[in-house]
Structure 1
Amino acid sequence: MSTKQMKGEINELGLLFQYGKRVQKEVIGREIEKEPSPMAKKIRDLFFETSSSVSMEFPYWYTRRWTKLEGEIRIIRRAEALKAAFAHLTPAIFPGELLVMGKTHYLRGSYPMPWLSESYFMSREDEMYREALEAGKLSSDMVTKWGKGGGNVTESGGNIISIAGKFGLRKEELPILIKTAKMWKHKSVEDIGHKYEQMVPEYKEKEAIVLT
């Protein structure tokens, strides 16, 4: 260690060496903050300005393949379902991208996973269909809430159905969502977990505590 470092001077990396000395009262940054490259900044800004969108493409193909392999070894069944889902993703290349493809063909996209939990979609089936009928009265621009990190689709409007007040789903994909969710009834992680949860001796006491 050099004499300058032992004296507590800041080096070219912005780090302060305090070997053998007391810690100073002021807080000194330990990280080097850098600005993103112009290309990365452009893509990031575009991502932040994009509404959160949902696609049923992945869940549809995953469920279709999973159902077809009824009776197969579970790990093989899941692997085949994932393979089918990824193989049928619609490729999308956005301007300025070097690494392409994502979970959906939307820039800020996601997809439901009814094999984990399907009850939310089934419980809101009628409500979502009513929203779909009323959605045409509003413009999709009127129901998007912009904040840090992107736009949350808080209400249904135009051709878009709001999912959980955050994601936007195209109206024509709603029947696929409901049908896919119903196919996972009593088979999802949520349902199977609840089934085994009820076998615990103290289950009723736990439910009573939750409800109070």
Structure 2
Amino acid sequence: MDRRLAGAALIATPLLALIFRGLGVSGLRPLTACLVALAIYWGLLVLALRFSGGWSLRPRWPGRAVGLVLVSCVTGMAAVGAGALAGLSAHVLAVVVLAGLINGHLEEAFWRGALVPHLGPDPAAGDALRAVPAVLLFGLWHFAPAAAPLTLPGGAVAMVLCATALGAILMAARLFSGTAGAGAIAHALINIFAFAMLASTNAEAV
């Protein structure tokens, strides 16, 4: 794991939590404030990726077992979030899809790419152990958006636990394929449905 990037992520997480919280009570509509805070987070991810030399997201199938788990995660999220997605207005739907695509790809490039650049396509036990701190950091980061004054389906703790579990699955895809590409596609699709549920639950979306 890249210790400089890990340290930066540890420092940035509480600061981003303050930003999510502060913007949420600033007078902006809650979802608008959340989107602005996400844009700041994305900007930091882009800076980190440029600093680290970037990361390729070339899709590569992670194998039958992990691939099946990824497809199951996307399918399950689609089953839960399809109704919310269908109920959004056209402009909110466009924002949700764009945000999901951006977030899924940037997060995979950073959390399963630049942060763990030396994990090979051979999922040795040592690689798996070295990946654990990155998975935990990814879960920890979700305390930042959970600080936003939004109604979260399942609550903040459920959001962090689900993100950690998803992070472990996406890291497995990274280990078995040697790239974060397949995970980026799955992550983006999952984000689209998750963001749709968030927008639907918080009806003041614009």
Higher helix share: 2
Task: Place the TM-score, normalised by the shorter chain, in its bin.
Answer: under 0.3
Q: Pick the structure with greater CA Rg.
A: 1
Normalised TM-score (structure 2) = 0.28
Higher strand share: 1
